Structure 1
């Protein structure tokens, strides 16, 4: 019995080992799961397959879109939106082409604001505005694409709601993502006449650097010359030299312009493979720019325009000719103020 028990135990032991071996063999024979493709923010070939907006964020995409929509409605009620179909359709089509070549995961609504300030600004959730002044200041379509690419990058990377989650922004409903450095910048504050404390309006420099990097990739993938992005910043530098202090205040929340130019040049060399040809500008861009210029000129000449330049005559400018009894002609000022003469005093009589 003892021997039988021994063999039974031994058999069970071997049986367990055999089962374990079979299970192990079965596991080994199962096909391995495909490893998830690694993507990089620095590789433009991975655009569309990566999540550049990942990070701690308490706002869902749906809530972000709702917030942006509410802000956009406020902007449209306050600012003057260009309703010229040629201009608005061109700018929207240019922007949507960049969006298709970006990491954005929300639909975009793009409109043009009638403002001479050089600016573009984007709201959370895909609501995007371009000032006419930006188009007039640009020499090429690629320069406009560079600015718009930067704004699209802010939305794709969800910088607004991520910044709010970090506690850097007190009230998301007052924060647009603006190329020129927040509401303290040029465009929308004047166009919409919205007064917001400047302390709540600045994005971190790391967000701005990321938007520069991603924006370069988006314009590159869309076929534009990424060097145009650098060209635009060099124009800003020239503006700063002509009128010191104007640009530096606007970019107080951004990396210094010199650094942005240097970094952009470095990113172009390290991330973007050189292509035999790029889109620099188009005849359509030139036509739209000429149309905008004509629109601005007509507004300045319109006598009904309350903002047109006015000449105000100073006292003494308007004169008339008066002929006395002897035929002598003299000029008198119609606007001349009355002259006060001192009455003779008693002392004068003495």
Structure 2
């Protein structure tokens, strides 16, 4: 009966409808948009409780100005999104389902101008647009279900614990990490497109990652074991992308879309 239940569970998960990301990649999504928005809301509330919010009005206004440009390019109004600046040395930013953006002040020491900050924000918002959070949570659920099913079938098998440990490693390295890199690269493409339409120079995304490489020094993990592409790969990909996004940037400028956000 346990094996039968495991087979039924596997069949139900396998029958879940697949979707396509904005770049045409197949995705397995187990959660609705409203469910993800609720998760994003709870996560953002927890982060706001944990982190110290910035109080410098000029810094907050600068970040909000860049965010407004990105949000407007989406076709949304800035009031629809919650943007919070956190006073922290972390060189980081994020966006969550439910229309939330968080930016750490440490990022402003590496993203040297409005265009570089827009490159980060565009990238993070692209994760939301491409439903990457849904995809990652869904894959985690599928991985957990797969391990449970394997555990059922390996009951009574010699060296069962060894087999389960190997399966766990396979899920982590063979599925989660390479897929993370795919999502990051997809967000780079979509983010560059988004920032260009918002009137920010996408060539500055290349400069940003040169800055990131310098800030990280030799501490970055090897690309093979990282959820992010290496700095070198990311810079190369963004350089090749300029032929596609620079015309969008020029069109935005011609249409009078020229953000003027200064710190």
**Alignment TM-score > 0.5, same fold:** yes
- Deviation, structure 1 residue 249: 6.2
Q: Which has the higher contact order (CA 8 A, sep 6+)?
A: 2
Given the superposition, is the C-alpha separation of residues 265 and 280 from structure 1 closer, same or farther in structure 2, using an over 3 Å criterion? farther
Given the superposition, is the C-alpha separation of residues 169 and 266 from structure 1 closer, same or farther in structure 2, using an over 3 Å criterion? farther
Q: C-alpha separation between the residues in 2 aligned to 1:152 and 1:161?
A: 14
| CA displacement, residues 147-175 of structure 1 (integer Å, 9 cap, x when unaligned) | 1100000011110112222337879xxxx
2:41 to 52, 69, 92: 69
| CA displacement, residues 301-329 of structure 1 (integer Å, 9 cap, x when unaligned) | xxxxxxxxxxxxxxxxxxxxxxxxxxxxx
- Secondary structure at the counterpart of residue 115 of structure 2: helix
Q: C-alpha separation between the residues in 2 aligned to 1:154 and 1:108?
A: 15
Preserved CA contact (<8 Å) 1:104 1:155? no
Which is greater in Rg?
1
1:254 — aligned with what? 228
Q: C-alpha separation between the residues in 2 aligned to 1:168 and 1:216?
A: 31
2:206 to 212, 230, 233: 230
In the alignment, does 2:180 pair up with 1:214?
no
The gaps in structure 2 that reach 5 residues or longer are 1-20, 145-171
The gaps in structure 1 that reach 5 residues or longer are 1-39, 43-51, 172-198, 289-350
In the alignment, does 2:134 pair up with 1:161?
yes
Preserved CA contact (<8 Å) 2:40 2:96? yes
2:250 to 255, 275, 287: 275
- Deviation, structure 1 residue 252: 1.6
In the alignment, does 2:240 pair up with 1:266?
yes
Q: List aligned pairs for 1:104-253, cutoff 5 A.
A: 107-167=80-140, 204-240=180-216, 243-244=217-218, 246-248=219-221, 252-253=226-227
- Deviation, structure 1 residue 236: 2.1
Structure whose residues are more often helix by fraction: 2
Preserved CA contact (<8 Å) 1:104 1:152? no
Given the superposition, is the C-alpha separation of residues 248 and 221 from structure 1 closer, same or farther in structure 2, using an over 3 Å criterion? same
- Deviation, structure 1 residue 120: 0.8
1:88 — aligned with what? 60
Q: C-alpha separation between the residues in 2 aligned to 1:147 and 1:118?
A: 11
Preserved CA contact (<8 Å) 1:53 1:157? no
Preserved CA contact (<8 Å) 1:115 1:131? yes
- Deviation, structure 1 residue 112: 0.5
What is the TM-score when the length of structure 2 is the normalising length? 0.67
1:101 to 43, 68, 73: 73
Given the superposition, is the C-alpha separation of residues 59 and 103 from structure 1 closer, same or farther in structure 2, using an over 3 Å criterion? farther
2:29 to 34, 57, 80: 57
- Deviation, structure 1 residue 259: 1.1
Preserved CA contact (<8 Å) 1:140 1:281? no
Q: How many residues align?
A: 207
